[in-house]
A = this chain, B = another copy of it.
Amino acid sequence: MISNKMMEQVSKSSVIRAMFEEGNRLAKLYGRENVYDFSLGNPNVEAPEEVKKAIIEIVQQEKPGAIHSYMNNSGYEDVREAVAQHLNKKFGTAFNAHNILMTVGAAGGLNVVFKTLLNPGDEVITFAPFFGEYNSYASNYDAKLVVVPPNTVDFQPNLEAFGSMITEKTKAVIVNSPNNPTGVVYSEATILKLAQILSEKQKALGTNIYLISDEPYRELAYDGVEVPYLTKYYANTIVGYSYSKSLSLPGERIGYLVMPSEMADFENFVSAANIANRILGFVNAPSLFQRVIAKCLDAQVDLEGYNRNRELLYNNLKAFGYECIKPEGAFYMFVKAPVEDDKAFAEMAKSKNILLVPGSAFGCPGYVRIAYCVAYSTIENALPGFKALIEECQGLA
């Protein structure tokens, strides 16, 4: 009785649910603290104190009507202006409130962009490995996600394969840096080359191709690595941002879109995105948290917590003989499975009470994703299991 599309989704999701239930089963058998769950991107570093302070200040100082009412579907004008000025200061851009639309997280923002742009049959290109939800977002608008095969040397996007995959049907390209699942930051050289290919193809095909930059992990970059701001490299760029990770507020559903004035069809895009935000049922980004983030623009979570996890996990896995790139951002590590079949390896890992996500879920089989946004002790306690696993795999060879 439910729709055909959703019936398909329900069938697929049973795999993920099975994993979740396996985690619960193991937790019951061995105790929650003895199950090493690296499968979820739920930040374990807490929201900074500024958030709590801002919430209390706002509800104590302002009238409820000024905090909880409807506003323009694009968000409070002053909050949008504050976000724009913050970006300008940080990246030397020239945005104002009109370029910003407050959204229900990055997921809400990406749906607004897809709804705004995509006709049925349109194509959106992404680079493997990629966040699996892009498939569902494209399908929501009967568009097709076209996946460029991975470059497993350094996990920068595979730009050789990319060019030939752009056609008249290509409406958008979506990139995610720092990347989920690899933790790789797309370099400036990559972005320059990507922008060049897109510009040439636009000209050759006589179309506009939008570059969508999905940036929930922007603030999570280690060792001072620079994450290029894409609107500066390519005019038809839209940025989707979220405070889910930068302020550890994933449950609050607060983020924004940046729509630069120089993009093609700008005024229609801005009007349509405002309407899409309304008719998709978001209506507006949660109002109190719009006010909260405006007071916390310079706040940040304790990055050092994630960094310690990164070092501990990376150094030990390398010492054990695992192959992987040292992540420069986000809180994921993408490790080559020591047996060919990533799903089989994730199954093996469960025997050590270790939960991982197979790379197949990100369009990149042969690897597993480790989400290290967990307690330091969880990593410490899981290390003997990781060591035993690779030894067992080597024994199999």
* A contact set with B: CB distance below 8 Å: 1-7, 9-10, 13, 40, 42-44, 46-47, 51-52, 55-56, 59-60, 63-65, 67-71, 104-105, 107-112, 115-119, 122, 133, 136-137, 140-141, 208, 248-253, 264-265, 268-269, 271-272, 275-276, 278-289
Contacts and interface: CB of A to CB of B under 8 A. Distances in A.
Nearest to A274: B13
14 contacts: A6-B275, A46-B65, A52-B64, A55-B55, A70-B250, A104-B104, A104-B282, A110-B281, A136-B278, A252-B288, A253-B253, A253-B282, A253-B286, A282-B282
Nearest to A49: B64
A203 B244 CA distance: 48
Contacts of A140: 115, 279-280
Contacts of A115: 3, 6, 140
A288 B59 CA distance: 13
B116 A3 contact: yes
Contacts of A52: 59-60, 64
A253 B107 CA distance: 16
Contact of A280 (B111, B208, B284): B111
Contact of A10 (B253, B271, B280): B271
A143 to B, nearest CB: 9
A359 to B, nearest CB: 21
A110 B282 CA distance: 11
B59 A55 contact: yes
Contacts of A282: 104, 107-108, 253, 281-282
A65 B60 CA distance: 22
A61 to B, nearest CB: 11
